[in-house]
Amino acid sequence: MIETKVETIIQKPVAEVFAYVRNMENQIFYNNSIHESKATNQDATEYKIQIDLGIFKLNETYKINEVVENKLIVASCTANGMKFTDRYEFSENGTFCSISVTDKMELKGLFQLSEGLVKMNLKSQMIENLKSLKKILES
């Protein structure tokens, strides 16, 4: 299992950051691995996503498993060769938002052979995604 965590402070209120991240269709703007994200149900708890992780591309369902308003979003995706869970945590830092994103990824079968490569790339990619999110929300 690969576990990666990144965090930053975004100079916007928690409610604004939470609302933007909660709309998973926005991932295409700040997550360079996500090429498509569309809600597939009325509650916007399931999204059809297209992910390009370099060594493999996926068209899967990304499910929101838990939401605590302005505090927490937990979402997961299960594919043939992998499963990952993202945990977005939000808290107040003065008048700004502190956000941490934790990704837990389990590779299965032949994909396990690429674990070292995925682990190296995932951290830097998550850092870049968080920088992009920060830039979008602060501009």
Domains of the chain are 2-138 (3.30.530.20)
- Helix (H) or strand (E) holding 39, with range, is strand 34-39
Beta strand segments in 69-95, E: 72-78, 82-93
pLDDT at 136: 98
pLDDT at 27: 97
pLDDT, tens digit, 9 for 90 and up, residues 36-95: 999 999 999 999 999 887 666 889 999 999 999 999 999 999 987 789 999 999 999 999
Put the strands of the sheet holding 34-39 in their side by side order. Answer: 2-10, 96-107, 82-93, 72-78, 57-68, 46-52, 34-39
pLDDT at 55: 65
Model confidence, pTM: 0.92
| Close Cβ partners of 49 (under 8 Å, ≥ 6 residues apart) | 24, 27, 34, 36, 37, 58, 59, 60, 61, 62, 77
Q: What is the dihedral of CA 89, 55, 38, 102, to 10 degrees?
A: 0
